[in-house]
Amino acid sequence: MMDREKGVLDDLKNELVSEFMGHVIPFWQGLSDKEYGGFYGLLDDQLNLDKKADKGAILNSRILWFFSSAYTFFEEESLLYTAREAYHELKNCFYDNEKGGVYWSVTYDGNPSDDSKHTYNQAFAIYGLASYYEAAGDSEALDMALELFNVIESNCCDDIGYLEAFSREFEPVSNEKLADNNGTTGARTMNTLLHVMEAYTELYRVNENPKVKEKLLRILKVFREKVYDPEGEKLYVFFDMDYNSTADIHSYGHDIEATWLIDRTIDVLDLRGSEYDLSDITDKLTKKIYDIAYDGSVAEENRFGTVSETRVWWVECEAMIGFMNAYQKDQSETKYLDAIRSIWDFIVTYIVDKREGSEWYFQVDKDGKPIPGWAIASLWKCPYHNGRMFIEMIKRMESL
């Protein structure tokens, strides 16, 4: 590594630690609901805190994952304390002891408000529980994660892949919860498949259950044979039951996110050089996103030939990890390191919200102006994409 590259990485590491330890982590710890447990469900873009908003399982599971993983890496007790708060909320309020699985949301005081069961939601509960097991050594958390794995495999999939949305009793329902901004839905989605893979990879990493590995091998096969479009060098997004693509969408954020998540699964399962090694695909995806979506930051997506100029917090974070993953593979590709530096500068300048009591904006326009109406904290706005970027970037920089 040349002195210039080392200097870029050293500066970036210091800036990341300052932002997350001094700003992001205290913000989310401050959303802890000391009266009813868990974390407040909504802080809007005007910084109005709704203490009686519903609490989403995705928010809670992602907080559980982030603070568990941060504790494992940094070993600071306050991080484990926050993870434990999220764990108790998941166990006591979100987990359906009668029918199995995890509710979509609960009321502010912990009663089911939307008792539907979505595969995506079950996956994130597994993700958080597996990481909490590693952090706290709590075997009950591992047992819950394995039980949810069995719930998904028994109720949420068929012979060719994973299905999406269900009632409390696991009867199929429509999939509006994972629709895109234009209302497009699918009987199957790349998004759910990607995050089932992510959750199962984390579960396998901490437990090495052979049944989990078997399912991960199937998922990797589906990515190669059904989800990847070799002609367009992109991932299809929405599918019918037979894995036919049903929408002409190129999701830049999901493509770059998938590059490093797929590579991570391959590495955790030690599959390099095997028939399940998808690095040929992840390399092409990364190059494609760099070529068509990066211009100092990463545009959101392409729909029917039109590129969105919106810059979304999670897309920028996934681009940083994806480009870092590519740079680790080939350190002669310094263009990826330069892109990381440029994207982080954009985040710090425009996406990090400088208002007291806030965190990051959800999205801004191409000139960096915040787009109104998008909450600072909500069911979908969590310390997951940016928190995961922080942890992944620090780990990867320290490994170079």
CA distance 51 to 377: 12
> Six-digit token pair at 209?
């259950």
Residues 254-279: b if buried by 16+ CB within 10 A, e if exposed: bbbbbbbbbbbbbebbebeeeebbbb
Cα-trace Rg, the chain: 20
Residue 182: per-residue pLDDT: 75
Counting beta carbons within 10 angstroms of the beta carbon of residue 150, is it exposed (0 to 12), middle (13 to 18) or buried (19 or more)?
exposed
Give Cα separations from 145 to 13, 90, 95, 299, 327 (angstroms): 32, 11, 11, 35, 33
Counting the structural domains of the chain, the total is 1
CA distance 317 to 285: 16
CA distance 75 to 183: 42
Range of the structural domain that residue 377 is part of: 3-399
Enclosing H/E stretch for 157: strand 157-158
Counting beta carbons within 10 angstroms of the beta carbon of residue 20, is it exposed (0 to 12), middle (13 to 18) or buried (19 or more)?
buried
Residue 307 φ/ψ, nearest 5 degrees: -90, 125
Identify whether the C-beta of residue 300 lies closer than 8 Å to the C-beta of residue 253.
yes
Instruction: Write down the residue that tokens 């787009």 correspond to.
Output: 371
Residue 3: per-residue pLDDT: 86
Enclosing H/E stretch for 166: strand 165-166
pTM for the model stands at 0.97
Identify whether the C-beta of residue 298 lies closer than 8 Å to the C-beta of residue 311.
yes
pLDDT by 10s per residue, the chain, length 400: 788 899 999 999 999 999 999 999 999 999 999 999 999 999 999 999 999 999 999 999 999 999 999 999 999 999 999 999 999 999 999 999 999 999 999 999 999 999 999 999 999 999 999 999 999 999 999 999 999 999 999 999 999 999 999 999 999 999 999 988 778 889 999 999 999 999 999 999 999 999 999 999 999 999 999 999 999 999 999 999 999 999 999 999 999 999 999 999 999 999 999 999 999 999 999 999 999 999 999 999 998 788 898 999 999 999 999 999 999 999 999 999 999 999 999 999 999 999 999 999 999 999 999 999 999 999 999 999 999 999 999 999 999 9
Identify whether the C-beta of residue 59 lies closer than 8 Å to the C-beta of residue 88.
no
Identify whether the C-beta of residue 316 lies closer than 8 Å to the C-beta of residue 262.
no
- The CATH number that applies at residue 252 is 1.50.10.10
Instruction: Write down the residue that tokens 């993700």 correspond to.
Output: 127
Query: What HEC string does 85-130 produce?
Result: HHHHHHHHHHECCCCCCECCEECCCCCEEECCEEHHHHHHHHHHHH
Counting beta carbons within 10 angstroms of the beta carbon of residue 221, is it exposed (0 to 12), middle (13 to 18) or buried (19 or more)?
middle
